[in-house]
Structure 1
Amino acid sequence: MSGNIAQQIAAPYSEAMLSIAKEQNLVNEFGEDARGILSVLDASSELEAFLGNPLVPTDNKKSLLQQAFEGKVQPFVLNILNLLADRRRIFFLRQVCDGYLALQRKLQKIALAEVTSATELSDAQKQSVIERVRQISQAEGVELQAKVDPELIGGVIIRVGSQVIDASLRGQLRRLAYQLS
């Protein structure tokens, strides 16, 4: 299913999740739970396939969700997971969690910076990127998502929303080749 359609289906659930989180004064806790759920999904493609399988009965999915997340996430979050299963929307769990985190960042004026570098960034380099992003975005806080891509040769690529700062050696070589042609 296309990402845009999946996001449209997941958006009301993400918004409801944020509404409950604000009501219960648990916005940050729900965010941590959403990150935890995403890391479990990233670690287990089998779990995501099981939850997305339309042939698996809803009760089996809810039982697995209970086993996997009870005591590890807020009870309200577990209720949302069960609601997604009941409504046959558990397939969109990843999009619901991503949507919640995006809404949380917007609420708390936090910019998401996706940083791709040739090598692992040191703490000082990460702090430098955070300060640069804070200047560019005027955000109160910055959340870094760092990835390593050895094909960059050196430098970094920083994405903040639709803005891209390409300070990579590969990007500089590409620009130089374009200027020479």
Structure 2
Amino acid sequence: MADSAAGSYASALAEVAKSNGTLEATSADMDKIDKLFSDPQVYKFFVNPTIDLEKKRKVIDDIVSTSSLQPHTANFVNILIDMKRIELVKEIVKEFEVVYNKLTDTELAIVSSVVKLESQHLAQIAKGVQKLTGAKNVRIKTVIDPSLVAGFTIRYGKDGSKLIDMSVKKQLEDIAAQLDIGDVQLAV
């Protein structure tokens, strides 16, 4: 996990957050940073070596004041800028999630569905994953996937290695395989 630069940065941030009792808030901050740097224009701005460091710090200060990031999270992003390692920010966010999940005994489950699922359905899915894994906590991330036709899939385990497929697409593929039809092309 911490064998990469991103893993080392993520572990260091998690240790700071754990030591000052802000692990949950720092995790929420990392979600905000992930959303921020998912915008290609924002990412390009910060990785552009021709843009002055002070200008980048000013933008971070503006972001901090509007999104209420923890002071140590803001300092962390500034360190990445100063050390010219901001290009690692997306990897660091992913690595932080791994470290956070390990520290809090949390299982990540990615639920894909055609439409947004109701919170009570997500709660039932979380309980089921918790029962399967024995994890203390389950964190659900949702993804909209129109190719499923209907139903949902759940990925969990190390690197999403386990799959529960309750989609209509899978059921149709299973029927086609039993009838030896071959590849089924679904018109969606």
- TM-score, L = length of structure 2: 0.85
Cα deviation, residue 92, structure 1: 1.4
2:186 alignment counterpart: none
Deviation at 1:50, TM superposition (A): 0.5
Which SS does the other structure have where 2:166 is aligned?
strand
Residue 143 of structure 1 and its aligned partner are, at CA, apart by 0.7
Q: Which has the higher helix share?
A: 1
Tell me which amino acid in the other structure corresponds to 1:62: R
Instruction: Name the structure 1 match of 2:49.
Output: 54
Cα deviation per residue 1:143-180 (whole Å; 9 max; x = unaligned)? 11112222211111100021011110101112222333
CA drift at 1:85: 0.6
2:62 maps to amino acid:
Q
**Residue 28 (structure 1) aligns with:** 24
**Superposition CA RMSD, Å:** 1.7
Decide which of 143, 153, 157 is 1:157's aligned counterpart.
153
The count of corresponding residues between Structure 1 and Structure 2 is: 174
Shift of 1:123: 2.2
Query: TM-score normalized by structure 1?
Result: 0.88
Which runs of no fewer than 5 residues in structure 1 stay unpaired? 1-6
Correspondences of 1:59-74 after superposition (within 5 Å) = 59-70=54-65, 72-74=68-70
Task: Work out whether residues 70 and 78 of structure 1, in 8 Å CA contact, stay in contact via their aligned partners in 2.
Answer: no
Alignment of 1:168 with 2:164, yes or no, is no
Cα distance in 1 between the residues matched to 2:36 and 2:136:
29
CA distance in 1: counterparts of 2:22 and 2:58, whole angstroms: 25
| Among 88, 94, 111, the residue aligned to 2:90 | 94
Give how far 1:38 is off: 1.6
Unaligned runs of 5+ in 2: 181-188
How much identity, in percent, do the aligned residues show? 26
Q: Look up the equivalent residue of 1:55 and give its one-letter code.
A: T
